Amino acid sequence: MPNIDLPLDQLTTYAPALPQPADLDQFWSATLAEAPDPEPTFTPVDTGLRCVESYDVTFCGYGGQPIRAWLHLPPAALRHEPLSGVVQFQGYNGGRGLAHEHVFWALAGYAHLVMDTRGQGSGWTTGDTIDAAEAPPAQPGFMTRGILDPSTYYYRRVYVDAVQAVRTLRAHPLVDAARVAVTGVSQGGGLSLAAAALVPDVAAVMPDVPFLCHFRRACEISPADPYGEIVRYLKAHRDQVEQVFATLAYFDGAVLATRATAPALFSVAVMDQICPPSTVFAAFHAYRGPKEIVVYPFNDHEGGGPFQAGRQLRWLAAVLEK
């Protein structure tokens, strides 16, 4: 499928003025004020990989609920302490995976925390974390769970988990708290933006083809899930359209980006059917910190893949060296 969105020359200037809830900052400061200390535990695991040192992590997330993660470190013989760190958030429907699965940033010398996504982790990679919450009527999936109120919305819990993950890695004794970056692809990119907005002093943020941005436009033009879950919900609940988008405004990466100031390396794919490029550019243009964006003109949601990974390796090294 070719481009479903604006042509590239219009994308590069697409900067819609999205409405911000009047109490946006209060909502999040109140929410974060309730977050407990992460109190992480780190249990060594033997993955069979000789070049990575791995730990099974549990920390307190939203509501004090236990969130799982992996911590991967370069082996002791190779590391220069204190370590720079990278928190990785996963794409939709995935979790932290098996212990040997997602180790890229550790290979590059970073303390690498892979956060599980509550309730997910039964799709492209597995997970182990419960989402403890009431489930009002919703479309199959996570996008519309509790969507009638910001206080019950699923991503409120996940965004707090993401903040707690950053706190967890920063507090690790081998890690330099001032050199912790956040990254992720798709939903992981959206969580990176949220983390950068809610923890503005992270060292860097690298959102790849980020999800969770400019929800209304995404719902209007994306032919695919997960935005499609919201569309199908609204097909049924025809009377809740405005209420749903009022909730989503509190979680919109293109709104939260106005609160983020860390150096950022975005990526966007012009043929992205799942996270349409205009929604990414909306977030990019709203982003308040120093920023770059890598454009992949013929890619769909796979984005830059290993090319972007290589780009990030070099960019992050340069940013953290400063």
Binders of a copy of itself among residues 275 to 314 (CB under 8 A) are 296-300, 302, 304-307, 309-310, 313-314
Annotated ligand binding at 55? The verdict is no
CB of 260 to a copy of itself, least distance (A): 26
For residue 215, what is the enclosing H or E element?
Answer: helix 215-221
Q: Is 208 an interacting residue with respect to a copy of itself (CB under 8 A)? A: no
- Say how far apart CA 127 and CA 115 lie, in whole Å: 9
Q: Is 236 an interacting residue with respect to a copy of itself (CB under 8 A)? A: yes
Q: Is 234 an interacting residue with respect to a copy of itself (CB under 8 A)? A: yes
Using alpha carbons, select from 133, 161, 159, 138 the residue that is nearest to residue 244.
Answer: 138
Using alpha carbons, select from 97, 82, 62 the residue that is nearest to residue 188.
Answer: 97
Let me know if 46 is a catalytic residue.
no
Q: Which of 241, 243, 290, 292 binds a copy of itself (CB under 8 A)?
A: 241
Structure tokens at 150: 């910001």
CB closer to a copy of itself, 136 vs 200: 136
Q: Which of 51, 151, 200, 292 binds a copy of itself (CB under 8 A)?
A: 51
CB closer to a copy of itself, 168 vs 267: 267
Let me know if 272 is a catalytic residue.
yes
Binding to a copy of itself (CB under 8 A) within 6-25 occurs at 7
For 236-272, letters b (16+ CB in 10 Å) and e give ebeebeeebbbbbbbbbbbbbbebbbbbbbbbbbbbb
Give the per-residue contact string, 112-151, with a copy of itself (x = CB under 8 A; - = no).
-------xxxxxxxxxxxxxxxxxxxxxxxx-x-------
Q: Is 317 an interacting residue with respect to a copy of itself (CB under 8 A)? A: yes
Binding to a copy of itself (CB under 8 A) within 158-197 occurs at none
The one catalytic residue in 116, 131, 208, 272 is: 272
Let me know if 300 is a catalytic residue.
no
CB closer to a copy of itself, 52 vs 169: 52
CA dihedral 117, 246, 152, 226 (to 10 degrees): -30
Structure tokens at 159: 């965004």
CB of 261 to a copy of itself, least distance (A): 26
Structure tokens at 239: 């009377």
Residue with tokens 């020359």: 9
CB closer to a copy of itself, 101 vs 176: 101
Q: Is residue 127 within 8 Å of 98, Cβ to Cβ?
A: no
CB closer to a copy of itself, 30 vs 98: 98
Distances from the Cα of 310 to the Cα of 71, 213, 237, angstroms: 21, 25, 44
Other residues' Cβ atoms within 10 Å of the Cβ of residue 321: 8
Q: In whole angstroms, what separates CA 17 from the centre of its chain? A: 22
Stretch that binds a copy of itself, among 28-36, 189-197, 230-238, 251-259 (CB under 8 A): 230-238
Binding to a copy of itself (CB under 8 A) within 61-120 occurs at 74-75, 77-78, 93, 95, 97-98, 100-101, 103, 106-109, 119-120
Q: Is residue 152 within 8 Å of 136, Cβ to Cβ?
A: yes
The one catalytic residue in 186, 192, 267, 278 is: 186
Using alpha carbons, select from 235, 190, 231 the residue that is nearest to residue 213.
Answer: 190
Binding to a copy of itself (CB under 8 A) within 249-278 occurs at 271
Structure tokens at 54: 């791995």
Q: Is residue 72 within 8 Å of 54, Cβ to Cβ?
A: yes
Using alpha carbons, select from 212, 230, 211 the residue that is nearest to residue 220.
Answer: 230
Q: Which of 16, 171, 237, 293 binds a copy of itself (CB under 8 A)?
A: 237
CB closer to a copy of itself, 64 vs 305: 305
**Total number of residues binding a copy of itself (CB under 8 A)?**
83
Residue ranges for the binding site for substrate?
92
Write out the catalytic residue numbers.
186, 272, 301
